Structure 1
Amino acid sequence: MPRLGTSIPLLGREPELGTLRTALRRAGSGQAGAVLLAGDAGVGKSRLLTELVTEAERDGVTVLSGRCLDVGEAGLPYLPFVEALGRLGAEQRELAAQWPVLGLLLPALASPEQAGQAMERLRLFDAVHGLLSELAARHPVLLALEDLHWADVSTRDLVLFLLSRLDTQNLLVVATYRTDDLHRRHPLRPLLAEVSRLPAVGRIELGPFSAAEAVAFVSALAEGALPDTTLHAVAERSEGNAFFCEELTAAAQRGASLPGGLLELLLARVERLSPETRRVVRAVSGAAQLSEHACLREVCGLDDTALETALREAVLHNVLVPAEDGYAFRHALLREAVYDDLLPGERVRLHAGFARVAGRIGTPAALAYHSFRSHDLPTALAASVRAADEATRMHAPGEALQHLEQALQLWDAVPGPEGVAGRDELALLWSASGMAFAAGEIDRAVTYARSAVTRADLRNDPELAADARHQLATALIPFDTRRAEVSQAVGEAWDLVRDRPASVVRAKVLALRARAWVWGVPDLDVDELSGHVEQAIADARAAGAPDVEADGLVTLAAFESWRERTARSIELGTAAAERAAAIGATRVELRALHNITSNLLISRDVRGAARMSAQVWQRAERAGLGWSDVGVEGRTSELFDLYVLGDWDDALARAEVTGAPRFARARIGAYSAPILVAQGRFAEVEDLAARLADQRDDARTDVVFGIALAEAAQWRGDPLAAVAGARSVLDRIRAMSRSSVADIRWAAATGVSALADLAEQARRRGEDTGELAGAGEELAATEPASLLHVRLEARSPDTLAPTARLTADLNRLRGQDDPDAWAHAVKEAEALPYWQLLARWRWAAALLAHGDRDAAAEQIRLVHTAATELGARPLRSAVDDLARRGRLTVAGGSAPEDDVLTPRERSVLELVAGGLTNRQVGERLFISEKTASVHLSRVMAKLGAGSRAEAVSRAHQRGLLG
């Protein structure tokens, strides 16, 4: 079972909690106020208020709290005030005794006469106001009133009386209510309209969690008991509602779908409606999408007047919401609950009705959905194929895949399926593999491609069989460990078309064969590879396949980079990308642009490489390929560039992806791990790695996580674990078909650095370090299977920098810490600011060991300042430790960590101080409005500010802004 949400640290509510804290501080200084805390049921209002109450009690604030109950129209008079004042202590009750009328609310003060007397409202209101004022004169008072949507008329009147008389008391009133319960004629609405005009009254609209916050909350609830895919599914279904997160997490751990308690809660709202309205609501649940008025009229069999009356009632009670030309459920889980409550026959009739309408005026997707669920399978098959075609034209591969899978599911259940579908099963399998690959569902792409190979082999058509194997090889390429399968598929395809005339298929196979580094053919000569590509281009021209020709030009551009002609490679790659874009070959265009990022990195233009990578994945998104292999490669390349550049806030904001399939989510999550380690957020990295543990079949994900965890172990003072982690990573890399030299050097440098730490400890104990040195030599000797990789990557700074660190740390491991080697490492990392800081730190230690204190002090001050600005807490702590051991002073001392803004946060706050909105800030800094909002929220949390204006004011006071 999950833990209750209240036992988990508050997530995602820092801005709102900051606003409440500010209001409480102002009340403590004599500025009485009130905050109306609004939000849907279960969104987290009580949890937020509980956090404020806990902090207030800890600070000596007198807290009085009470809640309203749902007991019908009449209600219980003054119930929240009776409950709140019932919490008074003995001394406070004596104070209350000076207002005898309070006996109406406090039974202990009531006289026998009062019990039978009519309430004296004005005297009672004055007494409550007077008592609160007297209490506030002694200690600040927080009056917390929950669930005002259930308040009786007397309570509402008393609340209005109190809020209209807030002045200089040390008093804060916080009242919560549900927005989804406030239909248009709800009796609380006039009160809200009245008090909203009062200057002392503020309002917080508590929205649902963001997608990332919902995932974090469900992860905390599940405590590692749910796999990552289930965790994201639960978070998505909850739509950010905290209570739904808790209930769905519990249900997922039990293997249930919709928990009984949540089901009853959701259906209770529907049961309050009239019978005819319930009938319409149940019909809308069967639509599974926006329900248009005309469609509902036909399915429900109601005239316009009756239908409009029912819809108005459903909207009034916040069950349905109008959206453009139709109606939808306020929350997807409410639709699910109503639909699950339908009887089987009722569902079939509903879907049959919607299918009739969809057949005349609807979309193929709607017709496929409703025909399938009303058991009209031939119609469902034909409509599914048409819906897949339509989704493909709209660049929606995920939706196309769903329709294709439904068509394949129906294939054997429909007589004469080829005639019904208008194509054969092989064509559907082929399309399903392509759409799965485009949607980032790599496992499914491989599965369908293998089935297509089996079907194609039955046709006795060599080109068809070769083409199927080409698609299988393409689908297998992202799995870096499936070298043998890729090689086998390409080899078989080439054998089938080697001796055949020029054709599109022959050109495709030959072009893929030329990309030998993908599937691990060892050390072919570049000129030989170029010959294969040129032949593929000639075949493509002869066969009229401009997309294959453009793809061959991209490969030739890559070979120019191998020949160390970087400028020529960029020129050819740009031309190939333009040609591909002109003919609509988007995947070829994206591959060309992605290759250009590698050339920019070799040219040490890391910032330009990051911009180009962003262009790649954003272009992929527009084409519906955002989660394909090339779209994900663009994202991860940008994340790595931002990591070494030190733009960590932007990188982590980019890594917060929603709706991504398992493969993409794991890859992108892995590339956020080194950043979290650099910030000292070790527990988050371990949690992320545990949640994505089911993605171990993706070697790239495993390698990057492995390096990050090894670095985390070293920062935490566990060099043995760091060495073991580095060894594991290098073992994993040896099994990869695309073993990156940069990754090898990075992992080896991490392991050797940890061994050097162990050797230093051993030497201080007078122990022999020969065995450690041998282990380091072994790690450093790791090389990729192909020397082509070394030639390709040897000039890239992400290879040169860790290689230089590796050499310098080998010296340290041998007991010969050489300042010149570290100076060289600093130079090689010039384009990679964060890695350069790591080298400077080690350089400072070597300088100090050789007695050059002035030079060491200069490096220490430089690294300390930069690490502080970056938020690189482990590095800053290490520099502080080095300065203490060397008896050196770090200029300016150590500012509190929670008082430091990152450069990006400072830039955002400076623009906010200039009066810019989040959208304008985003446009000025070339980031999204959401990213700007995330930065501002973090600034407010660090400064303890409850508003934008207060954040600017506090930053000025602390000298953080000019």
Structure 2
Amino acid sequence: MKCPVLVGRDTETGLLRAATQRAVDGRGGTVVLSGEPGVGKSRAVAALQSDAEEHGLVVLSGRAVRASTPTPLRPLSEALLAWLRRNELPASTRMDPFRPSLARLAPQLWDGRAGEQATSLVLLGEALLRLAAAAGEGRGCLLVLEDLHWADPETLAVFEYVADNVADVPLLVVATTRPGESAATQQLVDALVTRGSAERLDLTVLDAAATDAMVAACLGGDVPSEVRQFVTANAEGVPLLVEELLTGMQAAGALVAAPDGTWQVAGPITAAVPETFARTVQLRLQTQEPVVQQVARAAAVLGSDFDWTPLPAALELDDASVLQALRTLVDQQIVAAREQSFAFRHALTREAVLAALLPPERAELARRLAEACARPDADVDQQTLAELFDLAGDAERSAGAWHTAAVDALGKGALATALEMVGRAGDLVEPDSETGLAVRQTLLEVHALAGDSPAALRVGESLVADLERSGAAADRLAPVRLRLARAAYAGGLWDEAADLLAPIDGVDPAGTAVLRAGVALGRLQPDQAVAEAQVALAAAGERADVACEAWEVIGRAARGRDVLQAEEAFEEAYRIAEQHGLGHWRARILQQLGSLDLVGRRPTEDRLLAARAAALEAGSLATAAIVDLQLNLLRIRYLDLERAMAAADAAIALMTRLRLPALGSAYLIRAMTHGLAGRPEEMEVDLAAGLRTAPDDPELIAGKDAHVRGPVALARGRYDEARAAFAAGMEVYRLHPGLAFSMRGLWALLETVHGDGAAARDEVRDGPQITSPHNWFALRYADAVALGREGRAEEAEQTFADATWTHPGPEPWMEVHMRGLVARAAAADGWGEPELWFRQTLDGLVEAGQTEAASACRAAMRDAGIAVPRKAAGARPVPNHLQHLGVTAREYDVLELVAQGLTNQAIAERLFLSTRTVETHVARLLQRTGSGGRGQLATYVAPPSAGGRDVTAI
């Protein structure tokens, strides 16, 4: 007996309608309805869908179903497929790049013209957002995902991406879930709610008054008091049980409708109503014909959501008999009919039916169903077949079906699901059987693609040994060894990769040579890496992917010593990737080019953002994670710490999921972000986490001091601490000169200001990476200090000026500290313009918010006998239209002078800043306003009402 109205959910319905209206207005959101089974989640969603459809919203709806290993992306596929039966994909060029991703959910969208289907889950999430934006423009979209607690890992990953990025899309996502049913789903929902990406509505049971109201609504008239009392006492406020109890009374004849429409009690209701919900369902089934009971039990073995077509063959019935039985079950509200399948009305209903079966009965039904599903003409997925054979006790056939399902999932890029499926297969067969060997080879591939090198090596080494014992041919062994070697290389296991490559040199000359090149670079042997890369290029022939990888190795090897040579190599790799349409390599090389912007101190995110977009489009999640890390470093340059932290968090989350070897570096970079933001405890936690990933990695050992503690101490004006930290890092770098360290020059400057520094300057000048702009810049400052100390004031001033004007400096805030260090030495040794340099330093430190360092600068000025300027009583307020863009008070000062037509040098002199700092402010202003140049920038000085740009439209 179905209740015709939604009872007792006014608050929840109001919140959902408000969220729907926001989606219509272009502001998306995510709502998770959480509650125990039967509490009314689906009812609330059904009411929302009906309301949304009445108001013209685009509605897509799908649900996950209970399975030992859920089908990848099932609820999303169901939602899109159902919508496409009545609609066409919006005809938009903006949608075209996302058709390959959507084709994972709806194969009819795949036209085969764009290469292989996209496998990136992030890109799939973006495709759904683009679809919602195109289909719901002007009216809004609603995406419903029911029973998220049974969803596969891939669906959860896509749901997370959509929830995090739906704010500016006219889409409301509503998911339902049970608390405590799935730890993974619970953790994801908690995380989304914590960071504001989702809102959770907890549905509780109905109170007594609402239960009474629901009983009255179900019966549509006066309700006998004993019925109301019984239902209230036994339903426990669960709406589903209210309906089931009333249905059971009616089916048993205890509750009958009189001719006048009223309801009467015709018998003892306590005898007709069971003590539990399961008993209620079982009693209702017992009143039906045997064939109906038989169909219900077989359907329950098939699953919560089932295809009816195997039932006739399994039960030796004709189609008409099975369909008539299903019609009866629908009428009895035990199952519900869908467009192309049937489903038990609730998971509790299916569980109640299964509970009535003895284990042998369940196994026999599973066997008969499995045989029916295994017929050539049956259209049943391999996962269902595997579960049926497993339940029937046929381990070999179950393993074969699990393996086929795993290969299918792997082809869709569903690595987590594939890993679980292949694991199920491996548990069912002997590892050295033919099926077992095939399963282990697929397991090796899954681990390798997931970046889990230790697991891939364990599986692969055992597999190779067994294949050798079985006398496998070389052509079967070689691909396994090459896959193992690449897995070891991806995991940073250089020695293991080299050992695995040794026996297969002649099998794939180009592939093994380029892998040897990467291994040599990993071992910090750049010359050997370049030599091997040249061998790979010579052997590559038409293999564009090998050529791209070889040029990438050459560029990486050159990056530490010759930025121009590195850029030439990366540009060649990019040309090849573009020419051959290699999306993965195009993204990867864009990332490498973007990394040169960091080395070259270019104030732009353009190439890195382009690399990230290309990586997501190509499904290269590992590359996207590296880009996030580099965006963190670029944003740290301008102390944009909030956005830097967001990039670091995204990188660490993705690297953890993919088990990438750069995870340790990611933790160190986030540690520096914490340190610069004044969170020393969080910094130390991340340092420890980074070192735990690879305790013997010299890059991490050196980096904790040279790239974290040193810069953080510098930012606080604690120069002795910074000097000690850089010195500790240098001890490691001397043992591994191939490691990149762009602050060698800064170390030499600190050594020179606080000591003699001659040895340090010589070491940097004659050592690796001297062509790094950062190192050269700081070394020239150190040379100026040394010349001034020798009394060669004119040469010192010229060297200082040359460094400032002819070389790109480090991060602006670091350059401020370097200028302050030079000012201290110049004041002590009597050369240059220490008062001006001190004032510029102090102004920069105050602007950067580095108050501790600013205090230290004031103390140094007083020690030098230089008057310390008073702190401003109050800065001029930034106009509202510029505050909207995040423009600071100092940037507003610069903006006004730009509008007057002053050059950067003239602005620097007027504001007592360095020219480099002014350049940084101008770059920030161009970025914040989206201006194309200084002339356009000047239009932002006046508010919109006075003829300036209307920034609210940006």
TM-score normalised to the size of structure 2? Answer: 0.50
Bigger RCO (CA 8 Å, 6+ sep): 1
